[in-house]
Amino acid sequence: MKKTILFLVLGAIMSSGAFTTFAQTDIDQKVEALMSQMTLREKLGQMNQVSGGAELSGMAAKGEVGSILNCADPAQINAVQRAAMEKSRLRIPILASRDVIHGFRTIFPIPLGQAATFDPAIVEKGARIAAVEATASGIRWTFSPMLDISRDPRWGRVAEGAGEDPYLDVQMGIAMVKGYQGEDLSDPTAMAACMKHFVGYGAAEGGRDYNSTMISERSLRNTYFPAFKAAADAGAATLMTSFNEIDGVPSTGNKWLLKDVLRDEWGWNGMVVTDWNSAGEMIAHGFSRDLKHTAEQAVNAGVDMDMMSFGFISHLEELVAEGKVSEAEIDRAVRNILKLKFELGLFENPYVDEKLSEKVDYAPEHLEAAKQCAVESAVLLKNNKNVLPLDKAKTILVTGPLADAPYEQLGTWVFDGEREHTVTPLAALRNEYNVIWEPGLKYSRDNNTSSFAKVRKAAAKADAVVVFVGEESILSGEAHSLSNLDLQGAQSELIAEVAKAGKPIVAVVMAGRPLTIERDLANCDAMLYSFHPGTMGGPAIADLLKGKAVPSGKLPMTFLRDAGQAPFYYNHNNTGRPCNGSETLLNDIPIAAGQTSLGCTSYYLDTGYGPLFPFGYGLSYTTFKYGTPVVENAELERDGVLRVSVELKNTGKYEATEVVQLYVQDKVGSVVRPVKELKGFQRVTLAPGQVRNVMFELPVSELAFWNFDMEYVVEPGDFNIWVAGDSASGSPVGFIVK
């Protein structure tokens, strides 16, 4: 019987023509049949992921590589694949992978900007488009979404995730997984997703990349795990371990994380890959003695594939012989890898049509979606006297180092987006206005102010000034931490200089993180924060400035007055001495003030308590009025569903979309609970004067948390609920869970 299955399976694998006959053969059986043919060496080859292209064909022919990364050339991917399919003993296909983080060719806004849309549908569409383009070049596995909660904007990688809030992170993570993978992994346009970086990477001490983290188990479970659990439940095919250690244990060697939680508790059966040499880096951490030791620890902890440490391929044979790693562990890893390759249909369809990408990349509908996403991701932070939209201005001065910087506006982690295809704000605004163009500064770190006088003169001739400031792409992303978050170079001085012309000044900030822009806000009439908006950032911003589109983005991270406030997030626990809003600031402290005379509450003497802008904040060209939330059923059983509605009215002059946000507070818990937690949001579009009753239904089960006994439960008691336009607005209404 066994032999017959084996024969059928190998027949199916090797003769693609005959494959459909056996298409129903269960993948697990195919995997087992194939594994029974494999030598230990061939198994270790599958567990080895190597960076490169056609030059890896020799390794592929010998069965020494299971996956390649960093090659986006379909001809090269096919060449390696041919070596694997035609020359290797068992003809196991190679899996080509890539960091397709916010688009492949058509670049969407950075993930933090995408989170600001509060629109999972456009985020899913963006991921689908990324998959369609990347798979057309032969890439079937992306290292995205990044699900790391990040509460410290000094960390450069805040750009790559959804920001500080677990609920928003969950929604964005699910949307991306669905978009990348589509309905069925075997579809040639499906790209396996990779949840990363498991886990706690965003909590790096001081925002310094790769740094240690101290996260309690409860905090992991309540804050850092939820997006991974949700993405795992949504079917994410793979997971990447993180570089950091938590409480002394590097994630790549953490059995509790990778086996006890991920496999045993969550029942997830995908494939685990290390981050780039994160196994090897356990030596620098001081957790492993040498490369051989790293392989032993990583595989025994539950890692399946090694990205670029070469410890697995070099040492696992010895480790198995010595009995330090069991064959069962190796088989587990290889099973997970082969299962994915079968699910992706690589055995039947190993090659990519080398001409396909020409037809697919930058398709008009891809550009249109990227533009819509960029429109929705821009957050209006200030609009004094409604200077925006600039619908009446005829001549505008465009200035600033980010106005015509096609590479910089794409943002971090863009390997395949091409600057020639980027439309900058300068180019797009020229279609709308008579544009005077004076860059002022060449790049964001430029300190040369010698052309400022020219800029000011030009401002005098314009009806309005739009100044594009922010960060070059290289200033955010991996290993790009900053301790000072002010605008770099002389950008703040440029804004102050043009402000002297007495014309309406609009600042557009294109950046990878929340910058500390308080003094710049004071020097402009309006500010639009567009993050790094991608390929179509220019047309999106032009539409917003002109009033053809209305801003609807909301901040996915708290904006600070000063980097010294970091980490700062709205959903924190309370102190025993919360600041009551009557803080005495530095300049108001009497000389020789008594030690306790300032009231002894929790705030900074210089910046005060609050942030510059709270999580969820964002203005519109119109105004929205919220009614008092009405709770339909204020006493609930634990299996009940809370129904709360609020009347929302568009009280301004523009049709516009508001992101209505639902926050909850569990007032007393067996452990201290956050002061507020986002539990729902809806994008609601209203015409001027239109009123809508916005209804939320919140299952009480969603109020569960990991309590004192480390059980995931809803604790009965009093709760508060807010329905508002940001995390700091609205008044609470109570309800009770019995």
For the bound state, the minimum distance from the C-beta of residue 412 to ligand BGC, rounded and expressed in Å, comes to 11
User: Is 388 within 8 Å of 621 (Cβ atoms)?
Assistant: yes
Q: For ligand BGC, which is the closer residue by CB, 209 or 666? A: 209
Q: Binding string, 126-165, against ligand BGC, x = CB under 6 A?
A: -----------------x----------------------
**Helix, strand, coil share of the chain (percent; to 5):** 35, 20, 45
Would you list the DSSP string of 355-396?
A: THHHHHTT-HHHHHHHHHHHHHH-EEEEEGGG--S--S-SEE
Sites for ligand BGC among residues 637-666 (CB under 6 A)? none
d(CA 375, CA 534): 11
Alpha-carbon distance 116 to 559, whole Å?
Answer: 13
Residue 143 or 342: the one with the smaller Cβ distance to ligand BGC is 143
User: Strand, helix or coil at 695?
Assistant: strand
Q: Which residue in the set 224, 276, 342, 568 belongs to the binding site for ligand BGC (CB under 6 A)?
A: 276
In the bound state with ligand BGC, the residue whose beta carbon lies nearer, of 194 and 631, is: 194
Fill in the DSSP letter of residue 166.
Answer: H
Q: Which of 57, 81, 96, 99 binds ligand BGC (CB under 6 A)?
A: 99
Report the nearest approach of ligand BGC to the CB of residue 196 (Å). Answer: 6
d(CA 162, CA 152): 13
Is the bond leading into 74 cis (omega within 30 degrees of zero)? no
Q: Which is nearer to ligand BGC, 97 or 665 (CB)?
A: 97
Neighbour-count burial for 120-147, b at 16+ CB within 10 Å, e otherwise = bebbbbbbbbbbbbbbbbbbbbbbbbbb
Q: Which of 213, 207, 212, 206 lies closest to 155, judged by CA?
A: 207
In the structure encoding, which two tokens stand for residue 290, read together?
């040498």
Token code pair at residue 108: 């969407």
CB of 43 to ligand BGC, least distance (A): 23
Residue whose CB is less far from ligand BGC, 413 or 613: 413
Q: Please state the φ and ψ torsions of residue 281, each to the nearest 5 degrees.
A: -70, -10
Nearest to 384, CA basis, from 491, 526, 563, 568 = 526
Active site residue 184: no
One-letter amino acid for residue 172 of the chain:
M
Nearer to ligand BGC, 49 or 727 (CB): 49
To ligand BGC, the closest distance from the beta carbon of 388 in angstroms equals 36
Instruction: Pick out residues in 297-356 that bind ligand BGC (CB under 6 A).
Output: none
Contact pattern for ligand BGC over residues 522 through 561, marking x by CB under 6 A: ----------------------------------------
CA terminus-to-terminus distance, the chain:
58
* Nearest-angstrom CA–CA distance, 636 and 342: 47
- The residue annotated as part of the active site, out of 148, 275, 666, 726, is 275
DSSP secondary structure of 226-267: HHHHHHHHTT--EEEE-SSEETTEEGGG-HIIIIIIIIIIT-
Residue 154 near residue 485, CB atoms below 8 Å: yes
- Which residue is nearest to ligand BGC, using beta carbons? 143
Q: How far is the CB of 204 from ligand BGC (least distance, A)?
A: 12
Which residues lie below 8 Å from residue 592, measured CB to CB, with a gap of 6+? none
Shortest separation between residue 252's beta carbon and ligand BGC, angstroms: 12
Q: What is the CA radius of gyration of the chain?
A: 27
Q: What backbone torsions phi and psi does residue 691 show, to the nearest 5 degrees?
A: -120, 140
Shortest CB 276 distance to ligand BGC, Å = 4
Q: Tell me whether residue 478 or residue 562 sits nearer to ligand BGC (CB atom).
A: 478
Least distance between ligand BGC and beta carbon 258 (Å)? 17
Min CB(227)–ligand BGC separation in Å: 15
CA dist., res. 162 & res. 168, Å (int): 7
Q: Does 474 bind ligand BGC (CB under 6 A)?
A: no
Among 275, 296, 376, 543, binds ligand BGC (CB under 6 A): 275
Measured from the CB atom, is 68 or 190 closer to ligand BGC?
A: 68
* Minimum distance of ligand BGC from residue 67's CB (angstroms): 11
Q: How far apart are CA 705 and CA 312, in angstroms?
A: 38
Query: Would you give the distance in Å from CA 618 to the centre of its chain?
Result: 19
Strands 505-510 and 464-470: parallel
| Minimal distance, residue 310 CB to ligand BGC, in Å | 15
Buried b (16+ CB within 10 A) or exposed e, 423-442: bbbbbbbeebbebbebbbbe
Binding residue for ligand BGC (CB under 6 A) from 32, 478, 493, 562? Answer: 478
Number of residues that bind ligand BGC (CB under 6 A): 6
**Shortest CB 209 distance to ligand BGC, Å:** 9
| Nearer to ligand BGC (CB atom), residue 68 or residue 536 | 68
The yes or no reply on residue 196 touching ligand BGC (CB under 6 A) is yes
CB of 478 to ligand BGC, least distance (A): 5
Nearer to ligand BGC, 44 or 50 (CB): 50
In the sheet with 635-636, reading across from the earlier edge strand, the strands are 635-636, 733-737, 717-724, 656-666, 677-686
The tokens describing 404, both together, are 């015509």
Specify the residue, 210 or 624, whose C-beta has the smaller distance to ligand BGC. Answer: 210
Residue 73 or 478: the one with the smaller Cβ distance to ligand BGC is 478
Residue closer to ligand BGC (CB basis): 77 or 555: 77
The answer to whether residue 452 forms part of the interface with ligand BGC (CB under 6 A) is no
Give the C-alpha distances (Å, rounded to integers) separating 290 from 91, 246, 262, 280, 296.
33, 20, 27, 8, 10
Q: Where are the alpha helices (DSSP H) in 84-225?
A: 111-115, 120-135, 166-181, 217-219
Do 78 and 96 contact (CB within 8 A), yes or no?
no
> What are the backbone angles phi and psi of residue 268, rounded to the nearest 5°?
-80, 135
- Name the residues that contact ligand BGC, by CB under 6 A: 99, 143, 196, 275-276, 478
Q: Which residues are catalytic?
A: 275
